[in-house]
Structure 1
Amino acid sequence: MDFHALLDLPLGAPIVLYQGGLAAGRGLDVLVAATAGFPEGVHTVLVGSGRQRDELGRQAEELGLADRVHFIPAVLPHELPAYTAGASVGVIPYQPVSDNNFMALPNKVFEYTGVGLPFAASDLPELRRIAEEAGCATVYGPFDPHGLATAVTRILDPAEHETYRRSAANFGQRNTWENERLILVSEAKRIAGWE
């Protein structure tokens, strides 16, 4: 997906992408606030729908970021990879407001890396593990807009960006359903005593 044409953005402007529900506990207010600290010319795009849409739009307006924070309604699952591939950096800003969020390993990890997209993520256990082991992400404090801006800036650094992209693509190629299915079936057979 060409975000530049869709949103009438300058050609080559880096895109920071969040895709998913616009809901409380996802740290989207932190993402909007962090946009002010992104390098000049970087745009934030949120693809999804939810209760926080209007609130986030108002926040962007109040912070003077309405020209840098953009919203696209949710798209069909089979269309999502084309949108994901059009970004420069993904964001997983979940906040530890529940055990579910704290321990989450969201589908976004695999959606982003499946198209070679590096990401910035809240410093939560599973997200930190992926960032450290795969080298495809950086982490930041879940409630810290400055930390998120720093993480995104680091990934976008021309000296680092290609390394992050390669690491994301490598992780994505290793962690596909086709590969995971073999592990799952093998483990099920072992537990059932069929091996």
Structure 2
Amino acid sequence: MPQTRTSRKQRMAHVVHISTVHSWNDIRVFYKQCCTLAENGYHVTLIGTIDAGRTQHGVDIVPVRRSRNRLSRMVMGTLRALDAAWRQRADVYHLHAPEHIPLIPLLRVRGARVVFDAKEDLPDQVLDKEYLHPAARKSVSLFAKFLVWFSGRTCNHVLAATPKIARRFPENRTTILQNFPIVTESDTAVPYQERSLSVVYVGGMSELRGTRELVTAAEHLPDEWSLTVAGTASPELLDELRKMPGWQRVEFRGQVSSEQARMLVARARIGVVNFLSTRAHVDAMPNKMFEYMAAGIPVVASNFPLWHNIIERTGSGVCVDPADPAALAKAITTLIDAPSTAESMGKNGRRAVLEELNWNREKDRMLTVYRSLR
């Protein structure tokens, strides 16, 4: 009696994530999405920029060559990603960069399902891109709107990082998947009063992320306190920052691993995320804000309505005008001068993350989407 072919519905799907813009071990892409799918029985492959292939946490990682510049990445990098993806013959392809949107119809023609992960409000985001000439930004934004429209009508499903991003896509094929941290009750943290006397910022450094304002505010830290900064910046910005008086209070760690960043946060007493007001930032949900909360430290955040609502509702910190270094310094020093209040805010934030703002709740939404694709 001849064997019958196993249908897609009778087996767990082969899922390929294409992420050649982010680092291969990006927290949202690898640890949250890929690892969650692997833990739930899916055959998961990640195509990313890594020196050599490997299997980690049940995920097969396929390397593609790293591009030398942005233009090369958008053209040759996308073609290399397509070549690697085509060889996989997967059931589902999950795309993580706008430049991969043109691949959607090519992958679907083979009968595969395609998911697009919309992490940014692309049409608004490009209006604030520092590397684009101001005269070109509106034209690029219009093209970005077309890409968003095209992706929403050609892929099978969209995972949007925020409600505002979700409104760009068809409602019946879009799920909001927020960037909340991975956290468990068993996570241990250094008791608050035993932590180092440091304020921490972890992430990319740039003009629009309020780096100058944060370093200026560091001038006003008490003598025994320091500002710990872990992240990357352009050489030009770093040269400028090193000449500022506040830089004398900065412990600059450069780029660190996810685990090292987690340890820096776990040992600090205050976390700062003071992005300046841009179209992309005001409705973003920065992962670092929730990681500070998960670590049990109070948050000093930009006073955007969405952020303010979260911070105020959970009682986990204070919000200030991110463009005002004096206000930023005052908020930080007020928490330094009231350690019991700071500790209580940290406990409130951690409680909110454990009970509500965590990946364990979000991952069920992602798994529901994947089950609907089979």
2:242 is matched with which residue? 57
Deviation at 1:155, TM superposition (A): 2.4
Moved more, 164-173 or 153-162: 153-162
1:125 is matched with which residue? 305
- Please give the residue correspondences for 1:179-194 in structure 2 after superposition, counting only pairs within 5 Å: 179-183=361-365, 185=367, 188=369
1:17 is matched with which residue? 200
| Deviation string, structure 1 residues 122-149 (Cα, Å, up to 9, x no partner) | 1112211111111111011111111111
Contact 2:298–2:343 (CA under 8 A) maintained in structure 1: no
Counterpart residue identity of residue 43, structure 1: S
Question: Does residue 83 in structure 1 map to residue 268 in structure 2?
Answer: no
In the aligned structure 2, how far is the partner of 1:39 from the partner of 1:180?
40
Deviation at 1:176, TM superposition (A): 1.6
Counterpart residue identity of residue 26, structure 1: R
TM-score (norm 2): 0.44
Contact 2:198–2:225 (CA under 8 A) maintained in structure 1: yes
TM-score (norm 1): 0.80
Contact 1:114–1:173 (CA under 8 A) maintained in structure 2: yes
**Matched residues, percent identical?**
28
| Deviation string, structure 1 residues 28-72 (Cα, Å, up to 9, x no partner) | 11111111223332211110111122222222xxx2x34311211
1:177 is matched with which residue? 359
Which residue, out of 111, 116, 124, partners 2:296? 116
| Deviation string, structure 1 residues 60-119 (Cα, Å, up to 9, x no partner) | xxx2x34311211111123321121011101001001x2101222211112211211221
Which residue, out of 148, 151, 159, partners 2:340? 159
Counterpart residue identity of residue 302, structure 2: S
Contact 2:214–2:274 (CA under 8 A) maintained in structure 1: yes
Contact 1:49–1:73 (CA under 8 A) maintained in structure 2: yes
In the aligned structure 2, how far is the partner of 1:181 from the partner of 1:105?
16
Gap change, CA 1:42 and 1:161, over 3 Å in 2: same
SS in 2 for 1:100: coil
In the aligned structure 2, how far is the partner of 1:143 from the partner of 1:165?
24
Structure 1: any 5+ residue segments left out of the alignment? 1-10
Question: Does residue 43 in structure 1 map to residue 226 in structure 2?
Answer: yes
Aligned-residue CA RMSD (Å) = 2.1
Contact 2:217–2:326 (CA under 8 A) maintained in structure 1: yes
Contact 2:195–2:269 (CA under 8 A) maintained in structure 1: no
Contact 2:268–2:297 (CA under 8 A) maintained in structure 1: yes
In the aligned structure 2, how far is the partner of 1:78 from the partner of 1:159?
28
Counterpart residue identity of residue 252, structure 2: F
In the aligned structure 2, how far is the partner of 1:178 from the partner of 1:163?
24
Which residue, out of 120, 133, 139, partners 2:319? 139
| Deviation string, structure 1 residues 124-179 (Cα, Å, up to 9, x no partner) | 12211111111111011111111111111222212312211111211221322112
Larger radius of gyration: 2
2:283 is matched with which residue? 103
Deviation at 1:183, TM superposition (A): 4.8
Count of paired positions:
174
In the aligned structure 2, how far is the partner of 1:82 from the partner of 1:23?
23
Deviation at 1:12, TM superposition (A): 6.5
Contact 1:116–1:172 (CA under 8 A) maintained in structure 2: no
With a CA cutoff of 8 Å and minimum separation of 6, indicate the structure with the bigger relative contact order: 1
Structure 2: any 5+ residue segments left out of the alignment? 1-193
In the aligned structure 2, how far is the partner of 1:12 from the partner of 1:136?
18
Question: Does residue 31 in structure 1 map to residue 214 in structure 2?
Answer: yes
